Structure 1
Amino acid sequence: MTNFTPFLSLGGGLLIGLATVALMASHGRIAGINGIVNGLLTTRLSPDWAWRFAFLAGMIASPLILLGATGQLPQISIPSSPLLLVIGGFLTGVGTTLGSGCTSGHGVCGMSRLSVRSIAATLTFMAMAGMTVFLIRHVFGG
């Protein structure tokens, strides 16, 4: 069971929203991690590459910033085997490729722009996530 943390969740959501708006205002780009990483891997040291690298580096460095501010790293517990994590990562990659975007691109940015495609994608991956959790916890006993 997870702890209910409404204020931390609200703060995290506000920071995600602020980063999304800042990226759109400064570069006219959507903060979809799938697209950011894909562009980072396919563009070569252009101005577009620099902001992508900075965005990703900020995501990677954020736990270290939290460590400096609070003296502790975030507590992470992953109750799945490494094999399930690899399979899940692969399926997520396939899904984001087929869906032309990820949860941050469609769910945060696309839905806030009232994109019908993003709303449909978000409804689809949320329904699949719910079904997956139900199957793993109640059918397969995981």
Structure 2
Amino acid sequence: MEYDDMLDRAIEESPEIDGTSERFEVPDPEVRQEGNVTVFENFQQVCRRLDRDPDHVMQFLQNDVGTSGHIDESGRARLTGEFDAGRVANAVGEYVDEYVLCPECGLPDTRLEREQGAIIRRCEACGARSPVEN
């Protein structure tokens, strides 16, 4: 059997993967100002959609916007300072690029694993493994 024939057969027998990230939509951040604090109202909903630990997302947000903050008792993120929805959305987008979307296939079907002190993003769709920034 020729290589091209084998390749065609492999492609035909491969399962279809919805190769677009269009099915993955992150809710727009709902933010409001409370004095000198920006309240990210739907923070928990965003974390659930990302399938990531809220503490990890919060730590990234704080580093990205350059402020301190915490998650309040009702699950909202409270960031010290005034940040508009666009700024928070940009930070969430950067988090998605760094920690959620697979760099190989572009799908969001990833899990974060710790391996020898490094964080590895493992894709459950294509099997790719890639290190991420700590």
Q: Which has the larger radius of gyration?
A: 2
Return the structure number with greater relative CO, CA threshold 8 A, min gap 6.
1
More helix by share: 1
More strand by share: 2
